[in-house]
């Protein structure tokens, strides 16, 4: 095997492929990536047996072939190269890497050890197609609410649901929730759902970030796995086996207080008030208090031994007054992942969840449980 290509093109694809590799693997061959060259195309394959990926890109192929190279080593060598063409050539027992005046020879892996990677399912009746930009935006607005606590493994995920011609995505850690949806071109009779691991979502976001403006992504749900495919990349992931919480039932159907506020202004005021906790080691239950009263929002926080902070912000409110406390990180996460100039907050009292909605995205809902102040 022998091929050459631009260093930047190779580096971008190698870095993406490395996202699938696990640094703690006990199986040496899972530290390697597979490279296959044919017909002026090169395909890089990587897997940790839970998530796998195939990336195809253009290259000048002189000799067809297939070989394995240590992923982290290859990535380290690529990162320090000049912006010149790179040539990869397979020798009898090694792989030769050349870039400008640089040359390296590294051991190659045993192809017999490499696992079989699932191919994309040919199931047109199960295929969901939508804009890569739309999917990327949906993930950005929800993924921050997913749990990172492996004790509640089923919540370390994003929930995907196809029903009545709509794709719904939701994430929750039990204390907060974010969900959004979009219309998709599938038969209304088609229904499917999947619990996709948070690691898979992180890799998918990287892939979508490389997509062109009008590029589409195809999603195919299988019983135990899901495929995401773009123009150059196919990723397959195992799904989490479990029951996702019925998140719709926790979203309040009505409210008594509605607040409209400037998103960036509220975000920055919350950050400033919460900065009082940076003076020392903040307790896990540190909170900011929102006091809503007649078109004014008073944001305050106090840290024992380090003082107090507060700020007043103009808002538009209806329905009365309320004093309610939140984890500042939960509020800031919602505000910084929205693009709206204004956001709406709906409340009932100091003990029930607050709902944040986006005027520009009618499908978006974020729910945050209050803290006891």
Each residue's pLDDT tens digit, 246-258: 999 999 999 999 9
pLDDT band with cut points at 50, 70 and 90 for residue 372: confident
pLDDT in the model for residue 284: 58
Is 332:267 a contact under the CB 8 Å cutoff?
A: yes
Q: Which of 216-220, 275-279, 354-358 has the lowest mean pLDDT?
A: 275-279
Spatial distance between the Cα atoms of 56 and 232, rounded to a whole number of angstroms: 5
Rg (CA), the chain: 25
* Contact yes or no for 128/144 (Cβ under 8 A): no
**Can you tell me the mean pLDDT for 82-98?**
95
Q: Which of 21-25, 34-38, 110-114 has the highest mean pLDDT?
A: 34-38
* pTM exceeds cut of 0.85: yes
Average pLDDT over residues 336-363: 95
Percent of the chain with pLDDT over 90: 82
Q: What is the pLDDT of residues 155-197, one digit of tens each?
A: 999 999 999 999 999 999 999 999 999 999 988 889 999 999 9
How high is the pLDDT of residue 305? 73
pLDDT at 24: 76
Decide if pLDDT at 283 tops 60.
no
The CA distance from 143 to 180, in Å, is 11
How much of the chain, in percent, has pLDDT values that exceed 70?
96
Mean pLDDT of the chain, nearest integer:
92
| Range of lowest pLDDT (50-54, 272-276, 293-297, 319-323) | 272-276
Residue 314 banded pLDDT, cuts 50, 70, 90: very high
**What pLDDT score does 4 carry?**
97
Domains annotated on the chain, with CATH? 2-113 (3.10.150.10), 124-248 (3.10.150.10), 252-368 (3.10.150.10)
**CA–CA distance, 309 with 60 (Å, rounded to integer):** 62
Length of the chain: 373
What confidence tier does 265 reach under pLDDT thresholds 50, 70, 90? very high
Predicted confidence at residue 121, as pLDDT, reads 61
Mean pLDDT computed over 120-141:
86
């Amino acid at each position: 095997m022998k091929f050459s290509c631009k260093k930047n093109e190779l580096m971008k694809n190698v870095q993406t492929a490395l996202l699938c590799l696990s640094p703690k693997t006990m199986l040496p061959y899972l530290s390697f990536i597979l490279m296959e060259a044919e017909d002026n195309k090169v395909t890089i394959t990587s897997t940790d047996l839970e998530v796998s990926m195939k990336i195809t890109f253009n290259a000048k192929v002189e000799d067809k072939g297939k070989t394995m190279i240590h992923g982290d080593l290859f990535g380290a060598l690529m990162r320090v190269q000049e912006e010149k063409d790179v040539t990869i050539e397979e020798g009898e027992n090694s792989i030769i890497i050349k870039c400008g005046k640089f040359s390296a020879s590294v051991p190659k892996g045993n192809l017999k050890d490499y696992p079989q990677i699932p191919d994309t399912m040919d199931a047109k009746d199960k295929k969901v197609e939508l804009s890569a930009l739309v999917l990327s935006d949906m993930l950005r607005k929800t993924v921050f609410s997913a749990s990172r606590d492996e004790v509640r493994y089923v919540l370390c995920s994003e929930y995907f649901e196809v029903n009545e011609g709509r794709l719904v995505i939701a994430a929750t850690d039990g204390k907060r929730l974010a969900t959004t949806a979009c219309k998709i071109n599938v038969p209304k009779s088609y229904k499917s759902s999947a619990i996709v691991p948070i690691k898979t979502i992180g890799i998918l976001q990287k892939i979508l970030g490389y997509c062109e403006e009008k590029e589409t992504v195809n999603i195919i749900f299988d019983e135990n796995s899901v495929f995401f495919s773009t123009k150059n990349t196919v990723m397959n992931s195992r799904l989490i086996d479990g029951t996702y919480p019925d998140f719709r039932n926790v979203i309040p159907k009505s409210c008594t207080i509605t607040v409209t506020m400037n998103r960036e202004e509220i975000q920055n005021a919350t950050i400033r008030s919460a900065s009082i906790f940076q003076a020392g080691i903040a307790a896990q239950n540190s909170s900011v208090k929102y006091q809503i009263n007649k078109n004014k929002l008073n944001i305050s926080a106090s840290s024992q031994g380090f003082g107090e902070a507060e700020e007043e912000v103009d808002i538009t409110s209806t329905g009365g007054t309320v004093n309610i406390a939140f984890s500042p990180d939960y509020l800031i996460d919602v505000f910084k992942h929205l693009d709206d100039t204004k956001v709406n907050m709906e409340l009932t009292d100091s003990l029930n969840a607050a709902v944040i909605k986006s005027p520009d995205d009618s499908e978006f809902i974020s729910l945050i449980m209050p803290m006891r102040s």
